[in-house]
Amino acid sequence: MRRRSETVVAMLLFACAGCAIAFVVFYAIDRLGRNTQVMGLALGGALIFLAVALMVTAARLVVSEELEHDYPEPEHPEEQQAIEQVVAESGDRLTRKRLLKTAAGLAGGAVGAALVVPAASLGPVVSSAPLYDTPWRRGLRLVDDKGRPWRALDIEPKNFYTAYPEGADRDLIGSPLVVIRLDPAELHLPADRAGWAPQGILAYSKVCTHAACAIALFRTPKFEPTQPRPALVCPCHYSTFDPSRAGEVIAGPAGRALPQLPLYVDPAGVLRAAGNFSGPVGPSWSGVRSGKAT
Amino acid sequence: MVRRAVRWLDERSGAAPFLKGVLRYVFPDHWSFLLGEVALYAFIVLVATGVYLTLFFEPSLSKTVYHGPYVPLQGVEMTDAYRSVLDISFQVKAGLLIRQTHHWAANVFVAAIVVHLLRIFFTGAFRKPRDLTYLIGLAMLMLTLLEGYLGYSMVDDLLSGMGLAIGYSVALSAPVVGGALGRLIWGAPYPGDPAFESRMYIAHVFVFPIIIGTLIALHLTLVASRHHTQFRRPGRQSGRKVLGVPMFPGQAPRSLGLMAAVAGVLFLLGGLVQINPIWLWGPYHVGLGTNGAQPDWYLGWLIGALRLIPHFDVTIGNYTLVPNPFWGGMLFPLFVFFILAVWPWAERRFTRDRSFHNVLDRPRDAPWRTALGAGVLTFVLLVFFVGSADRAFVSYQIDYNTQIWIYRVLCLVLPPLVTWLTLRICRGLQRADEIEHDREEAEGESAAAAA
Amino acid sequence: MAALALAAVAIAQPPGGVVRPENEGSLRPLELGAQLFAANCASCHGPRGQGVYPPPFQHGASGIKGAGPSLLGVGALAVDFYVRTGYMPLGDPTREPHTNRDLWNARERRALVAYVASLSKGPPVPHPDPAAGRLAEGLQLFTERCSGCHQVAGEGGVVTGARVPPIQHVAPQEIAEAVRTGPFVMPAFSQKDISDGQLNSIIAYVRSVGRHDSGGWGIGHVGPIPEGMVTWFVAVVVLIAVCVVLGTRLKAR
């Protein structure tokens, strides 16, 4: 029986070697070297053969009688005492232990603090003011991702568009907007936002106020009486915002309404920002509501 | 020849007594004691494949245009980081194999740690004197969750970019300090300083591996110096003497075989099952999103928590005190880790058992620990499953919002139920054991009386 | 899973399925179309396709509560789509439509398309040419406009109140029709927004995704959920099995 196991192990080891050599050979052949499945089978196969060979060795070929061994001593009271004594005696020559201890503690604490302080260079810690910054200003044109300006007549109903501030970095949290056109008669914006939506064209920040994902879904009913109302939805945790009601949250975990950007249509028919957002853009942080978008 | 090598080594290091001890170190033999080794070998595969990947990955957010062989991305603007991973996947020979093996190894590494943790917990191996070993293990678990997250987020693809934005929101949601915390880590409001990418890189390839490696070394040293626990052996002094297979030649082929098996399984997966096909997701932009975006499985409990918590920010007048993501994204995981960390101490206090334990419990022998552990595990698992509720809706047409409400109820109702049930099962098994034991004793006595 | 899908479909369809005239084979297309329309569509879309706007709901055949948009101006494009997919007729207008490709046969579909198109002018059935599309343009457009609902690899998704179907294997003509008409709560993308050339690219991209997975078995192209399932149900299971083989098991005391 042992002889048979030995043969089996030898065969497995040869198979392992074969697969490993195959791996090297395939690597050299361009077409096979780029075939992830073939390469994976070769290398993985080699290792599996090796594994089985070792397992058979463990089960049949090596002596694996069990031995008994003492668990180590739970503790060493004599040595513990000796250490304690050495430490206690070390202060024998000192006459003003408390003074030295205080001074040493102060020095240690101060050096430790000093070493940690440069970590503040990682980023400015103190103020949250920059979190309110957005690149939008009154008069900036809304452009698409290729830089072409959006005109009011480009914005058709039953569709949604992404807009960015002209000349600004598209990848800032304050940059992307989702722009839609609703029937002005269906809008219920607060009084201080009258005129924010020319011809019913609304612009909201595209970044969810829950956890900063892009609000890339627009639920667009074709028959309002029986279908769910229009809504901007976030694909991460499904926060749902009502664009006809100033971006208020109607479902999902977001705690803050979606900030709206006021628009106007310039004489050339291009959409422009009429100011900054109605509120801070992006995910909430402590104190967020007490400031305004800047 | 072996003698010459050993002599050479002993003359130069004096290590022969140590090596002799190592060779004769005994391993108690139970299959569940090998789970920690599975994690260790997955880590070795991670380091080996990871080193290879660092030779080709470019941690830079500079913009470039793709002109490689993958047609749907040709002419598309992207960062160097993303492009370098496309090149690893499509240009470097065996690059995709190594990359996929690395990612599978990360997933399996965390899974193995979790299974190992369950074994440690439900057999009481964390009790004195091994509570320090246990805490080191817990620390490693927390670090590997972060390490994995950083690893797949460095690639700057759409899926992981969305995940980073969510991470930023969770940092921002810390009460009072959130705004500062987010800006500290990212260097600037999201998407942050360009240096953030290289910070992730250096953390992932250097700082964290060194820390985890050191902790592994400490963990294994402690396991060896206090010696491995074992299950009770009838009629023997299980607390004083450990019975097991010596390291060499008995245990060595088993451990090496397990290592080869782990590596083999990982490379087979790396070659045969696609993982994180970043070319399908495309490069990340703040204004882009995809449905069905998910973090890697070991962070699934967090996305579940973020979806489960009902919508509210804690506000005082016009001041937001606690934004919504805090509860699910920060408090929930910290709470679970807190329970795990504090458990050895809490158990010592409540059972008033401060003695040494070298013998493991069978789960039924510690009914309260098993029952409470099962309850907490049920809670975490439920939250974990919430994370996949959207895909369950797409595949099985169970309404999403209905699922969320059902899960909310289940999270409150099921854990206590499972705790109670587990307690009863443990007690029942204990009674069955006692009856069996009494029966054997009685049979033994009657046989002796008859003789 | 298939049973659940069938059950959902059954709820959405009118009781009794489609009502057809008995002498169907002998009718000319426009006549057939008119009769099918009267029997299956008029309760919700009105006898001349002018729409029924509740309240009040119109009560139609088999107790159906009728309400539906006007079909004037939708053209052959929309009708072909809704009939081809079996989204129409819809038993309950408040429910999401479901696919049922066995509901109408080709002749009936052509008849209905001809009839509704005859009611007013509207866009014709499109004939996209995906071969003329560019994959890179398709990926970019799809990611910007479609992936939020359909998932970046077209594997479908969730929107509050609706299920978004996977679309990788949908016929090019149907994709084109859906993009232009915007079924249920999907936006409707006109030619001004997505030109025919761009639509060809999008279709080419959607049909190409997942056809060839360089990494091996694609496991659904949705990322970490199936990856986690493979981790636990394949890797962990196999490795625990290896541990069990290598080690002993505890025997009952």
Q: What is the pLDDT of residues B209-243, one digit of tens each?
A: 999 999 999 999 999 998 888 888 877 777 888 88
Give a yes or no: residue A270 inside a domain.
Answer: yes
Same domain, A184 and A284: yes
pLDDT at C10: 43
Question: Among the listed ranges A89-93, A182-186, B12-16, B348-352, which one has the minimum average pLDDT value?
Answer: A89-93
Same domain, A189 and A83: no
Give a yes or no: residue A69 inside a domain.
Answer: no
Q: Mean pLDDT across the stretch B46-52?
A: 97
Q: Mean pLDDT across the stretch B256-264?
A: 96
Q: Mean pLDDT across the stretch A24-53?
A: 92
Range ranked top by mean pLDDT from B174-188, B294-308, C33-47: B294-308
Q: What is the pLDDT of residues A136-157, one digit of tens each?
A: 999 999 999 999 999 999 999 9
Q: Which CATH number is A258's domain given?
A: 2.102.10.10
Residues in CB range of A100: below 8 A, 6 or more apart: A94
Chains that touch A (3 or more CB pairs under 8 A): B, C
CA of B257: which chain A residue's CA is closest? A51
Nearest beta carbon to residue A251 from set C67, C148, C160? C160
Same domain, A53 and A87: yes
CB contact under 8 A, A54 and B325: no
Same domain, A147 and A284: yes
Q: Has residue C181 got a pLDDT over 70?
A: yes
CB contact under 8 A, B273 and C164: no
Q: CB distance from C141 to chain B under 8 Å? A: no
Instruction: Give how far A215 is from chain C: nearest CA, Å.
Output: 8
Q: Considering only CB atoms, which residues of chain A are within 8 Å of chain C?
A: 36-37, 40, 51, 55, 58, 145, 154, 156, 158-162, 214-223, 225-228, 231, 233, 235, 238, 240, 251-252
Q: What is the pLDDT of residues B16-44, one digit of tens each?
A: 888 888 888 888 888 999 999 999 999 99
CA gap C138, C205 in Å, rounded: 5
CB contact under 8 A, C218 and B274: yes
Instruction: Give how far C28 is from chain A: nearest CA, Å.
Output: 32
What ipTM was predicted for this assembly? 0.91
Q: Which domain holds residue A44?
A: 2-63+77-122
Residues in CB range of A37: below 8 A, 6 or more apart: B271, B272, C216
Contacts of B105 in chain C (CB under 8 A): none
Find, among A204, A215, A210, A209, the residue nearest to A177 by Cα: A204
Read off the pLDDT band of A294 (50, 70, 90): confident
Give a yes or no: residue A70 inside a domain.
Answer: no
Give a yes or no: residue A68 inside a domain.
Answer: no
pTM to 2 decimals? 0.92
Same domain, A35 and A103: yes
Same domain, A148 and A83: no
Cβ under 8 Å to B: C residues 197-216 = 205, 208-210, 213-216
Read off the pLDDT band of C5 (50, 70, 90): very low
Give a yes or no: residue A72 inside a domain.
Answer: no
> How far, CA to CA in Å, does C239 sit from each of B32, B255, B272, B319, B430?
11, 13, 17, 52, 30
Same domain, A22 and A109: yes
Same domain, A114 and A146: no
Q: CB distance from C247 to chain A under 8 Å? A: no
Instruction: Give how far B10 is from chain C: nearest CA, Å.
Output: 33
Domain count, chain A: 2
Same domain, A96 and A137: no
Give a yes or no: residue A202 inside a domain.
Answer: yes
Give a yes or no: residue A170 inside a domain.
Answer: yes
Q: Provide the number of CB pairs (under 8 Å) joining chain B to chain C.
A: 197
Same domain, A113 and A21: yes
- pLDDT averaged over chain B? 92
CB contact under 8 A, B111 and C231: yes
Q: Specify the DSSP element, H or E, that contains B241.
A: strand B241-246
- pLDDT averaged over chain C? 86
pLDDT at C89: 86
Same domain, A114 and A152: no
Read off the pLDDT band of C6 (50, 70, 90): very low
CB contact under 8 A, B71 and C249: no
Contacts of C209 in chain B (CB under 8 A): 280
Instruction: Give how far C124 is from chain A: nearest CA, Å.
Output: 19
